[in-house]
Chain A
Amino acid sequence: DTAVSQTPKYLVTQMGNDKSIKCEQNLGHDTMYWYKQDSKKFLKIMFSYNNKELIINETVPNRFSPKSPDKAHLNLHINSLELGDSAVYFCASSQEPGSLSEQYFGPGTRLTVT
């Protein structure tokens, strides 16, 4: 069983489009995250949810909107896609927020904006 899954794995789209990435975890964790890993492999936190509540919102354009319908799911919707949005997006989960909990990462979604 996959602990943290993401769909789709690859996403190629044109500038200006709107797209969504879905994430699901079956670990029973309370906290979920979205990260962006750019071409230089730098992994940067975007959002974190705990029990469906947004607890971390880094300096991310408001074109990015996370949604957590329940504790096991955290989706990422991106409006008006730009070239600079091209990256690998990782979803992760942990038992609780904070640095004591190890995070479990999904396989990533490679987004390419043309």
Chain B
Amino acid sequence: SQKIEQNSEALNIQEGKTATLTCNYTNYSPAYLQWYRQDPGRGPVFLLLIRENEKEKRKERLKVTFDTTLKQSLFHITASQPADSATYLCALAGMRFGAGTRLTVKP
């Protein structure tokens, strides 16, 4: 069966460090993968899209990688700030979401 797994339910890091979140999938062959941010009580907000032929995509302090051989995407936030604290969701095929990783950045 198809599965999307995000490495951990929660991740705590210190301000200024790099946060790395993982999205693994099985029995999918997505041409694209998206990352969203969700704050408590709000709907998800789109952050980045990466295509299968792109190894890496950057947007400001965000970086996403996509390895179709490993069936994995990594999402990095560099120089993290307390305002980055939120739940981050990966999505395959546009509509298949992982359970999310709740990131807490401590001052």
B89 touches A99 (CB 8 A): no
Smallest Cβ distance from B9 to chain A, in angstroms? 9
The listed residue (A35, A94, A105, A108) touching B45 by CB distance below 8 A is A105
Q: Which residues does chain B contribute within 8 Å of A42, judged by CB atoms?
A: 97, 99
B43 vs chain A, min Cβ distance (A)? 3
> Which residue of A has the minimal Cβ distance to B89?
A43
Chain B contacts with A in 19-55, Cβ cutoff 8 A: 30-34, 41-46, 49
Contact between A100 and B94 (Cβ–Cβ < 8 Å)? yes
Cβ of A49 < 8 Å from any Cβ of B?
no
How many chain A residues sit at the interface, stated as a range, is 20 to 34
Contacts of A106 in B (CB 8 A): 43
Interface membership of chain A positions 20-45, coded 1 if the CB is closer than 8 angstroms to chain B and 0 otherwise: 00000000000001010000111111
- Point out the residue from B33, B46, B92 that lies within 8 Å of A103, measured CB to CB: B46
Do B32 and A100 touch (CB < 8 A)?
A: yes
B contact residues around A100 at 8 Å (CB):
32, 49, 94
At the interface, yes or no: A92 with Cβ under 8 Å from chain B? yes
